[in-house]
């Protein structure tokens, strides 16, 4: 009797040993490997910090979402956040550090075109991967950059056409004196010319300049139907204030802005802004259950007074597009991930986005919004409904024509991608 008792114990022990061995090997297969590192290269200090900090938040939120679901390929994602100090030469150094020292698998970063253009050679040199979240002037296509923001045909061109159809045919162009407004206005002038519209004025002010009266005076004098605004930063406060003071409000001469989103709107005086327009791919007010959930999650995380805007949504989507590519490639090796990138589509808060296999820009829905009078939000007045194919090189010039155009500004800016400011020695990155 005693023997048989021991026999059962032995049999049970044997089974337990076998079972635990089995589980051990099984779990070994699913072992958690070291985390995948990604770089986040945005300005946390300097002029651009106010916009880019929000983009960092959106990026981190997407990473946390992935990690809370167990990461990718059973590996957690470890973000390494680096401050670009609003200085693209420094950003370039940091990009090298992220790639060579931190061995990141991808970098999410940059806001200004100047920044992007400066660090682009780094990514091409190391055949690495940069996700760029902001709309820009186009005329660029790098195999190492995924452009999540709008190309001109996804923002500027539809907005100009819409303005031409709905607001009037006499255009006045204002902008900051940088590569983006210059290029954008070059496109706009061409388009207006082709549409048969009239350009009654084109003025530029330096970054941060508050002296806008000469522009306002000119606007009063030439009486345009529409103002197309590519001014960036604080100058907008003075510009809209000047317009208001000159008694020019949205009902008289509406302004179509290309660099004012919800986040910027918060810093502006709402009574000066109501009724003006902006063109983007995404507004926080996009009324789909998917977007409402996204906004809710964001506010729960960062506070009810925070807003989401186009570059943030793009940055958020960029992380997911990258994660899908890693999943498809079954590795985080950049070369393999790059191969998978051009097959990706993602149901972003603003609608389905897809990476174009030809130019690595993003298929996106185009939207035009009208600023509400009571809150820093937009009413969507027009939408392309379907995602629009990105075309970074507008059709009315050939690629080589565009390149020589860009190079002429590059040399004009003293081999820089923005006009060196007279006040400061530093190169200051400016929105797109």
Q: Which residues of 61-76 are buried (b: 16+ CB within 10 A; e: fewer)?
A: bbbeebbeeebbeebb
- Give min distance, CB of 30 to other proteins, in A: 14
Stretch that binds other proteins, among 84-92, 150-158, 214-222, 304-312 (CB under 8 A): 150-158
**DSSP class of 393:** S
Contact of 422 with 207, CB cutoff 8 Å: no
Residue whose CB is less far from other proteins, 347 or 404 = 347
Q: What angle do CA 99, 102, 104 make, to 5 degrees?
A: 60
The token duo for 113 is: 């075109």
CB of 340 to other proteins, least distance (A): 10
Cα–Cα distances in angstroms (integers) from residue 279 to residues 189, 241, 350, in the given order: 17, 21, 14
CB 352 to other proteins: min, Å: 4
Give the number of other Cβ atoms within 10 Å of residue 6's Cβ: 9
Termini Cα distance of the chain:
86
CB nearer to other proteins: pick between 289 and 304: 289
Q: Which is nearer to other proteins, 64 or 328 (CB)?
A: 328
Alpha-carbon distance 48 to 43, whole Å?
6
**74 touches other proteins (CB under 8 A):** no
Residues 324-343 that bind other proteins (CB under 8 A): 324, 328, 343
User: SS3 for 403?
Assistant: helix
Contact characters 361-380, other proteins, x per CB under 8 A: --x--x--------------
Q: Which two tokens stand for residue 391?
A: 């075309």
CB-nearer residue toward other proteins: 123 or 316: 316
Find the DSSP H helices in 228-288: 235-245, 262-265, 270-273
Closest distance of CB 153 from other proteins, Å = 5
**Residue 157 touching other proteins (CB under 8 A):** yes
Q: Cβ of 194: how many Cβ atoms within 10 Å?
A: 10
Minimum CB separation of residue 169 from other proteins in Å reads: 14
Q: Is 194 in the site for other proteins (CB under 8 A)?
A: yes
> For other proteins, which stretch binds (CB under 8 A), given 128-136, 210-218, 390-398, 405-413?
390-398
Q: What residues numbered 4-23 form the site for other proteins, per CB under 8 A?
A: 4, 7-8
What is the SS3 assignment for 73?
A: coil
> Which range of residues in 70-78, 272-280, 344-352, 372-380 is near other proteins by CB under 8 A?
344-352
- Asked if 68 touches other proteins (CB under 8 A), the answer is no
387 binds other proteins (CB under 8 A): yes
Chosen residue from 70, 121, 357, 420 binding other proteins by CB under 8 A: 357
**Residues 6+ away with beta carbon under 8 Å from 143:** 124, 338, 360
Question: Hunting for tokens 């802005």 — which residue is that?
Answer: 257
Q: Please tell me whether residue 405 binds other proteins under the rule CB under 8 A.
A: no
DSSP category for residue 228: E
| 352 scored as a contact of other proteins (CB under 8 A) | yes
Q: Which is nearer to other proteins, 126 or 363 (CB)?
A: 363
CB atoms within 10 A of CB 373: 11
Helix (H, G, I), strand (E, B) or coil at 38: strand
Catalog residues that contact other proteins under the rule CB under 8 A. 4, 7-8, 153, 157-158, 161-162, 165, 190-191, 193-195, 324, 328, 343, 345-347, 352-354, 356-358, 363, 366, 384, 386-389, 391, 394-396
């Amino acid at each position: 009797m005693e023997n048989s008792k021991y026999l059962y114990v032995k049999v049970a022990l044997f089974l337990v040993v076998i079972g635990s061995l089995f589980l051990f090997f099984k779990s070994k297969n699913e072992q958690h490997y070291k985390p995948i590192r990604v770089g986040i290269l945005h300005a946390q200090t300097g002029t651009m910090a106010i916009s880019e900090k929000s983009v960092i938040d959106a990026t981190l939120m997407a990473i946390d979402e992935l990690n809370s679901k167990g990461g990718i390929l059973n590996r957690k994602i470890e973000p390494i956040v680096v401050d670009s100090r609003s200085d693209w030469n420094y950003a370039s150094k940091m990009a090298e550090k992220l790639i060579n020292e931190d061995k990141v698998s991808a970098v999410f970063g940059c806001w200004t075109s100047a920044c992007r253009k400066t660090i682009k050679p780094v990514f091409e040199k190391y055949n690495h991967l940069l996700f760029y979240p902001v709309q820009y002037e186009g005329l660029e296509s790098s195999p190492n950059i995924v452009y999540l923001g709008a190309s001109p045909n996804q923002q500027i061109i539809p907005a100009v056409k819409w303005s031409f159809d709905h607001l009037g045919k006499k255009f006045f162009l204002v902008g900051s004196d940088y590569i983006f407004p210059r290029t954008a206005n070059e496109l706009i002038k061409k388009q207006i010319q082709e549409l048969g519209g009239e350009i009654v004025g084109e003025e530029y002010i330096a970054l941060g300049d508050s002296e806008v009266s000469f522009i306002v005076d000119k606007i009063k004098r030439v009486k345009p139907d529409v103002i197309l605004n590519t001014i960036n930063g604080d100058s907008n406060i003075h510009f809209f204030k000047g317009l208001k003071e000159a008694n020019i409000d949205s009902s008289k001469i509406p302004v179509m802005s290309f660099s004012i989103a919800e986040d910027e709107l918060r810093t502006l005086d709402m009574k000066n802004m109501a009724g003006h327009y902006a063109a983007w791919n995404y507004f926080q007010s996009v009324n789909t259950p998917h977007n409402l959930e996204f906004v809710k999650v964001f506010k729960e995380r960062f506070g009810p007074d925070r807003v989401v805007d186009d570059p943030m949504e793009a940055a958020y989507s960029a992380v997911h597009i990258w994660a899908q590519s890693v999943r498809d490639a079954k590795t985080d090796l950049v070369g393999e991930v790059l191969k998978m990138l051009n097959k990706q589509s993602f149901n972003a808060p603003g609608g389905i986005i897809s990476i174009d296999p030809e130019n690595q820009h993003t298929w996106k829905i185009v939207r035009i919004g009208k600023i509400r009078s009571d809150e820093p939000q937009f009413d969507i007045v027009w939408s392309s409904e379907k995602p629009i194919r990105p075309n970074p090189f507008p059709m009315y010039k050939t690629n080589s024509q565009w390149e020589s155009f860009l190079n002429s500004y590059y040399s004009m800016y003293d081999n820089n991608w923005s006009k060196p400011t007279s006040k400061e020695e530093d190169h200051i990155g400016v929105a797109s």
